[in-house]
A and B are shown apart, each in its own frame.
Chain A
Amino acid sequence: MCESCVDRIFSQGPAPCPVAGCNRTLRKQRFRAQTFGDIQVEKEVDIRRRVAKIFNRRQDEFETLNDYNNYLEEVETLTFNLLNGVDVSATESKLAEYAAQNAAVISHNATLEYQESASQEARQAAEKEETRLRREAARREDEDERRAREEGRKEILEQLTHSNKNAVEVVKETKRVEVLKRRRAAQQAKAPATATGGGPSTKPSPFIIKGLKSTTALSPEKPYDPFGGLTDKRSYYVLQDHYEHPWLDQARTDPHITAGGYSVKEYCARSMFEAFSGLGVFVEEEVAGRGDASEGSGALDAVATAVAAVKAEGSGS
């Protein structure tokens, strides 16, 4: 259609398609300049672009190349159907269903693709966008929750005004309903997440992709341990707060010593440690263990040969 015709028909807003028998509503915004001379090619490019946007799995998601090729073939069949008008409605519904079920994977792959093609700055911008989206999603979730709570409260009030039930009962009842609702919402939220994992989904998919690598969820992060996994527990004694000894009394009370921060406690801890150190060492076991370790015996051999060499040298000279 020429530009002036588009202007004429659609400048007032959406209008039905002027082609006889086509009842679609079109908008001016969606019209664009034709790239290819052949309208057939233009159409094919359009369809391919649309399909590729939905079926954007990558080769590294598949276990074998063969699986990936099978997937590509199946996508090509769908594309061919759309291009040549075979089973269009069935194919369209397949496409829509796949898109709905794998929304997460699709958008993930789309961002990956985008990131790869864009330059460094563009990539950073994309990241920012992603965090914004995430924040927005979180905000929306918060808002939903707040609204739900508000609704619950409203409901309680309404029931209190309209029914003749006991107030406590009403509150209990609505609370129960609310909990149920929330639980259902949580389940719903969980369901698509499992479906997108590439694993077997509960609903039979119209479009089964074989050979997808199973994606493993990251294990939740461990809480920060300030001690870095070590402990100062001693296995042979428990340190007391106070040890009585006349020799220590001056160190405890003389301000010349205590004002500098000298700590008798530290000394006691050290004395205790030194008194008990070595108790966990069993020489016999260690010697036996040394015999087993090949490296240890190797080193022993090395010493033996070194000694022999020294002896030989000594006798030679």
Chain B
Amino acid sequence: MALSPAIPSPHTNSVTAKVKTLSVGNGAASEGTKSTAGQGQELAEQLNEETKRKYVKDKKIGEGTYAIVYLGHLRADPKSKVAIKKIKVNAEYREGLSLDAIREVKFLQELSHPNIPALYSVFSSKNQNLNLVLEYLPLGDLEQLIRDVDGVRYGTADVKAWMGMLARAVWFCHENFVLHRDIKPNNLLIAADGEIKLADFGLARSFSDPYRVMTHQVITRWYRPPELLFGARYYSGAVDIWSTGTVFAELILRTPFLAGNSDVHQLELICQFVGTPNDDNWPGVSKLPDYVPFGKDGSQSYPVRGRDFYLQTFGTVGAVGVDLLMSMLSLDPRKRVTAREVLTHKWWSTDPTPTKKEDLPKKGAGGEARMAEDLKRRAGELDDGRGVKVARILDFSGMK
């Protein structure tokens, strides 16, 4: 009897469950045969059943085109709270699972960090629906706090605390060779204790091997770095740093820093507010596939913005903070700071000290609904009013 080496213990049998869900296809073929392989299949099913029974779905807290989100709890402990994200079987991926779901499971189950939401378990329910049992994050997301200008007030110490948590999450991903590729305020969920969690790994992938192309159609537009807008197929963790930098700027301004309504507009905004890329400030930029020369034929060319501009616009975080922001928003990805360098920056040790997570400003009501909103959204999309303008269809053709 071939016994699976996976030992089910609370919160760790996601691997087994995943194995099951992913191998459902050939499960149907071997059904009815009483071979040892068939018995193994049934064992996996048993394990899945066991996992499924461990959680209770309490109520639906949101539904989108991509997923349904339930509030649930452990059957053994009614006080515990989990979010169960049930990924809908999708018309586009009838033969298998959607890429987003696979990526999410693949990375969340491996990354265990206080600033990354925990994936407790995975199981499949009827119709081979994939259910992800996730950490319950009731306090909404950072975008809500940023937008609620009248209701929520925060200062530099709070910005520093949030940025610290975000930078740690990004560093941890990069340290484990994972590119997140969708960092934005509404993917930064807030846990009950005020901790920020970098969620939504639907666009994540591990670092590429040399000469292997990656898609440039990632990261929500406002947070997308210039190299991706220029269609770079070979990039690094620097793309996440740009997003982190724009989130940083947004936290200070309380409005998106570079809110372009098309890819070209986005590039124009970058030219205007960060600087026009050319071969001097970014050697080799003209070799990028979708490079458009800005600032040539008559249109205005802006020099790379100096410290004065940043001090004027983002001065509230202090001169040292502005230095950090500038180094994160460097046009040339090779000159951008790495996640590690962000964390070793001296801004963290200058005054003011980051606010303790339990003292961070929060928004009381609406968190649950918001979490549902965030979870049911497909990676790389913005929803409701904002989505109308900036939603886009993901193009994975570059992945092959």
Chain A interface residues (CB < 8 Å from chain B): 223-224, 226-228, 230, 232, 247-248, 250-251, 255-264, 266-267, 269-270, 273, 290, 295-296, 299-300, 302-303, 306-307, 309-311, 314
List residues of chain A with CB within 8 A of the CB of B109: none
Q: Which chain B residues (214-238) contact chain A, with CB distance < 8 Å? A: 227, 230, 232-238
A290 and B7 in contact (CB under 8 A), knowing A250-B211, A255-B283, A267-B209?
yes
Q: Which residue of B lies closest to A229 (CB)?
A: B114
CA distance A228 to B196 in the complex (A): 13
Cα–Cα distance between A289 and B258 once the two chains are bound (Å): 54
A10 to chain B, nearest CB (A): 52
Residues of A within 8 A of B209 (CB): 267
| Chain A neighbourhood of B235, CB < 8 A | 260-262
Is B298 at the interface (CB under 8 A from chain A)? Answer: no
Cβ–Cβ contact A310 & B42, under 8 A? yes
For the complex, give the distance between the alpha carbons of A295 and B13 in Å. 14
| B residues in contact with A273, CB < 8 Å | 177
* Contact (A266, B8) CB under 8 Å given A259-B283, A260-B288: no
A–B complex contacts, Cβ < 8 Å, 30 sampled: A224-B164, A224-B348, A226-B168, A226-B345, A228-B115, A255-B287, A257-B211, A259-B232, A259-B284, A259-B287, A260-B232, A260-B288, A261-B235, A261-B239, A261-B332, A261-B336, A262-B232, A262-B234, A262-B235, A263-B236, A266-B174, A266-B177, A266-B207, A270-B207, A273-B177, A290-B7, A299-B7, A306-B50, A310-B46, A314-B39
Cβ-closest 3 pairs across A and B: A261-B333, A260-B232, A255-B284
Complex Cα spacing A108 to B165, Å:
36
Q: Mark B35-72, 1 if CB is under 8 A from A, else 0.
A: 00001001100110010000000000000000000000
Interface size on B, residues (CB 8 A): 57
Those of B112-166 within 8 Å (CB) of chain A: 113-115, 164
Residue from A247, A260, A302 in contact with B227 in the complex, judged by beta carbons closer than 8 Å: A260
Could you give, for residues 168-190 of chain B, a 1 whenever the CB lies within 8 Å of some chain A CB and a 0 otherwise? 10011011010000000000000
Contact residues in A for B42 (Cβ distance below 8 Å): 310
Closest-CB distance, B344 to chain A (whole angstroms): 7
B168 partner, pick from A227, A306, A314, beta carbons under 8 A: A227
Q: Do residues B168 and A269 form an inter-chain contact, with CB atoms below 8 A? A: no
- Shortest CB-to-CB span from B43 to chain A, Å, is 6
Complexed CA–CA distance, A226 and B236 (Å): 22
- How near does chain B come to A202, taking the closest CB pair, in angstroms? 36
Chain B, residue nearest A247 (CB): B210
A226, B348: Cβ atoms closer than 8 Å: yes
Q: Among residues 327 to 374 in chain B, which have CB atoms less than 8 Å away from a CB atom of chain A?
A: 332-334, 336, 340, 343-345, 348-349, 353-354
A303/B164 contact (C-beta < 8 A), A224-B348, A247-B210, A261-B232 known: no
Tell me the chain B residues, 234-283 only, with Cβ under 8 Å from chain A. 234-239, 282-283
- B345 proximity list for chain A (CB < 8 A): 226
**For B344, what are the chain A residues with a Cβ–Cβ distance below 8 Å?**
226
Q: Are B172 and A230 in contact (CB under 8 A)?
A: yes
* Chain B: minimal CB distance from A49 (Å): 38
Contact of B7 among A257, A264, A267, A303 (CB under 8 A): A303
Task: Select B8's contact among A228, A259, A303, A314, beta carbons within 8 Å.
Answer: A303
- A299 contacts B334, CB within 8 Å? no
**Is B285 interfacial (CB-CB < 8 Å)?**
yes
CB contacts (< 8 Å) of B39 on chain A: these are 307, 310-311, 314
In the complex, what's the smallest C-beta–C-beta distance from A256 to chain B, in angstroms?
Answer: 5
Closest to A297 in B: B7
Structural contact, B8 and A299, CB atoms closer than 8 A: yes
B388 within 8 A of A: no
Q: How far is the CB of B337 from chain A (nearest CB, A)?
A: 12
Question: B188 to nearest A CB, angstroms?
Answer: 16
Q: Which of A251, A295, A314 contacts B210 (CB 8 A)?
A: A251
